[in-house]
Amino acid sequence: MSADGLPPLRDVIARHGLAAKKSLGQNFLLDLNLTAKIARAAGDLAGATVIEVGPGPGGLTRALLMAGAARVIAVERDERCLDALAAVAAHYPGRLEVIGGDALETDFAALVASRAAGQATVRIVANLPYNIGTELLVRWLTPAAWPPYYASMTLMFQREVAERIVAAPGDKSYGRLGVLAGWRSEARIAFDVPPQAFTPPPKVTSSVVHLTPRAEPLAVDVAVLARVTEAAFGQRRKMLRQSLKPLGGEALLARVGIDGTRRAETLSVAEFVALARAL
Ligand code: SAM
């Protein structure tokens, strides 16, 4: 038995035939010390409602429950995992709800609202399937209503994606994702996780990223901000007067007092917001 009185994850995987499927981005974490570390990186979970995407055999889920989460709502697409997760739910009565389905088709804000979690702190914590990680992050960062329903997001990404999320102006990874994340959140890499920590090991190092929503991000239409960053970083080696030509080029830049000979990677988030507002 493991520390939580449930079988070790290797036994769970063997018993339920959960051989990892690449198509579902399945790289499992079987070390409960590591999943506990991710749960700690999420902050205080006592009394919190946690949204988890892709619980798989339940390693991180168990760590979240052991860390005191009042409630975990987990969305898992792989039906093979549901029996194994039902055993975890039985071990923590009333605290784990597993929804079989696709996270990309889940309205998480509505899900939280329908569970009357309104009073509880909501945190999103997940070892994300890499193929949909960026898409989910962008959706969580771009709802029309702000501040969002969640107090933080603690998410596993490939190291290279994590670097793009936390990048600042001048960093070689700075681009559209960094502007979006920097606009609406404070993001930092909590720690790296080597490939051998996963079963099966992925090819690259991963990182856990912790994001806290900004209470009052600069006001701008997110779609317009996306148009500006797409144009600017689409031709990142060019001067802005060239890359932003389709959006007004020099005239647009002059309106916000930005030198047209600068390049996208030198612009702060506030300058991108100013350009989007001027559009
Ligand atoms: N949380 C487990 C862990 O840490 O060991 C598993 C993490 S594994 C990287 C990603 C998980 O996401 C898998 O269990 C996979 O089946 C699930 N998954 C993949 N695509 C999904 C989707 N569209 N919606 C919900 N879950 C998905």
Q: What is the pLDDT of residues 70-88, one digit of tens each?
A: 999 999 999 999 999 999 9
Pocket-testing residue among 2, 53, 75, ligand 1, by greatest number of atoms within 8 A of Cβ? 53
Give the ranges where 167-267 is alpha helix by DSSP (H).
176-184, 222-234, 240-243, 249-255
Residue 43 inside a domain? The answer is: yes
pLDDT at 118: 60
Ligand 1 centroid–CA 102 distance in Å is: 10
pLDDT at 225: 97
What is the number of the ligand 1 atom nearest to the C-alpha of 35?
Answer: 4
Q: What letters, b where the CB count within 10 A reaches 16 and e where it falls short, cover 245-262?
A: eebebeebbeeeebebee
Ligand 1 centroid–CA 127 distance in Å is: 7
Residue nearest to atom 14 of ligand 1 (CA): 56
- Same domain as 160, residue 105: yes
Average pLDDT (244-271) is 97
Strand ranges in 87-223 using DSSP code E only, listed in sequence order: 96-100, 122-127, 152-158, 185-193, 198-199, 206-213
Q: Which two tokens stand for residue 90?
A: 């039985």
**Count of the separate structural domains present in the chain:** 2
Residue 3 inside a domain? The answer is: no
- Same domain as 235, residue 153: no
- Mean pLDDT computed over every residue of the chain: 96
Cβ–ligand 1 contact at 28 (below 6 Å)? yes
pLDDT at 150: 97
Lowest mean pLDDT among 91-95, 143-147, 197-201, 203-207: 143-147
Cβ–ligand 1 contact at 45 (below 6 Å)? no
Domain boundary residue, one of 188, 213, 238: 213
Ligand 1 centroid–CA 28 distance in Å is: 8
Average pLDDT (88-97) is 98
pLDDT tens-digit profile of 104-128?
999 999 999 898 656 789 999 999 9
- Same domain as 28, residue 94: yes
Ligand 1 centroid–CA 56 distance in Å is: 5
Cβ–ligand 1 contact at 102 (below 6 Å)? yes
pLDDT at 144: 87
Ligand 1 centroid–CA 110 distance in Å is: 21
Residue nearest to atom 10 of ligand 1 (CA): 129
Q: Which two tokens stand for residue 248?
A: 């007004």
pLDDT at 116: 67
Ligand 1 centroid–CA 260 distance in Å is: 44
- Same domain as 266, residue 167: no
pLDDT at 173: 97
Residue nearest to atom 21 of ligand 1 (CA): 77
Range of the domain at 205: 9-213
- Same domain as 149, residue 82: yes
- Same domain as 165, residue 264: no
Global pTM reads 0.96
pLDDT tens-digit profile of 9-53?
999 999 999 999 999 999 999 999 999 999 999 999 999 999 999
- Same domain as 167, residue 87: yes
Between the alpha carbon of residue 122 and those of residues 45, 48, 50, 132, the distances in Å are: 9, 6, 6, 21
Q: What is the dihedral of CA 247, 253, 258, 264, to 10 degrees?
A: 10
The H-or-E segment that residue 140 falls in is helix 130-141
Q: Is the pLDDT of residue 155 over 60?
A: yes
**pLDDT class for 1, splitting at 50, 70, 90?**
confident
The CATH number assigned to the domain holding 168 equals 3.40.50.150
pLDDT at 230: 96
pLDDT tens-digit profile of 231-255?
999 998 999 999 999 999 999 999 9
Average pLDDT (161-169) is 98
pLDDT tens-digit profile of 190-220?
999 999 999 999 999 999 999 999 999 999 9
Residue 191: phi and psi, rounded to 5, are: -170, 160
- Same domain as 183, residue 237: no
